[in-house]
Structure 1
Amino acid sequence: MAKYSINLLQPELIAKQPTWTLARVVSLWVFVFIAMLLWLTWSHYQLNDSKKQVAKSTLAKEAIVTQQMTLESQVASNKADTALVEQLATVKLLFKNKQLLHQQLTDTSSTHAAGFSAAMTELSQYHHRDISLKQVTISGNYIRFSGVAHTPESVPLWLAAFEQSTFLSGHVFSHFTLQENDQKLTEFVISSRQQTGKEQ
């Protein structure tokens, strides 16, 4: 006997599966939690690494500053005393002047005249520490000095001392020139009178 059946369950009557099930929501939250945990771990690692680099940079900077201060202290301690430098310059100038006078006194071509020898002796006797003679010329009544002075005012003071000398006193130094050179020293030329012709 044939059976006849009718399907009364229409497709629209079948219950649809929901898109967001509990399992899917839980899985999504687990995934987000794991991702956040990984991101926090990576951020914490980068932060610690940055802190280490900053600490290293700070230590390096402090070391450089300390080294700079040490070097500055060493440089300051190695600087020569100004007074000692000036004293050394004076001693060098005096020694140079003494050498010049010694050469003049021991030069047989120039010391044949007793007057020249006497003049050299008095120049050595009335030596001024700020005066360095370069050339001394004596020819009869003509006397000429040329040299270098530390200060312009030291030249007149040096000449004033000749009033007490035996040979140089009484000479009138009518020719007097001063000029500052590149080393800030005063070059001077003094003569008792203008010599006719070329000066020796």
Structure 2
Amino acid sequence: MYLPIYIYGHPVLRKVSEDIPTDYPGLTKFLEDMFQTMDEADGVGLAAPQVGKNIRIFVVDGNAFEEMDPSCKGFRKAFINAHILERSGDEISRNEGCLSIPGIHEDVKRKNKIRIAYRDENGEQQEEEYEGIKAWIIQHEYDHLDGILFTDHLSALKKRILKNKLNNLSLGKFKAAYRVVLPK
């Protein structure tokens, strides 16, 4: 089922998400819905808070970056109860956008390497290292689990410049090719 995406200004996007038990009801269906929603909205990642649930789950699909980084081919997976253990390497600036902030793209600096612990779709505990584009995608989605949006990483000046655009988003003054939930 295609889920509506919550838009900038909605309080669910600012809450810290919680781990879920291994027997979380409807988990398989929820993951299927998350992947479907991400695909239909043409995203490379989607976090549970973006569909109204403050639980520590996000899904990613790096296939769109295969030409820039061939290792992204087939990088499609779910991260459950994700916790970044370490960020390292150089800070790299990349242009980011977000399904919850449609129409706005800005350069954001993030560490080039991460180590993350999570459960996979089969409930197995994993600890892995990622770098480059994969680390960048994961860090963006992971931020959602802590109530952080990519715009929070921008300079004070850049935030002031974007203030009207962000306010318009929360008022519903934008176009998106997917269903949305506006702040009340």
TM range (shorter): under 0.3
Between Structure 1 and Structure 2, whose CA radius of gyration is higher?
A: 1
Larger relative contact order, structure 1 or 2 (CA cutoff 8 Å, min sep 6) = 2
TM-score by length of 1: 0.21
**Would you tell me which structure has more helix in proportion to its own residues?**
1
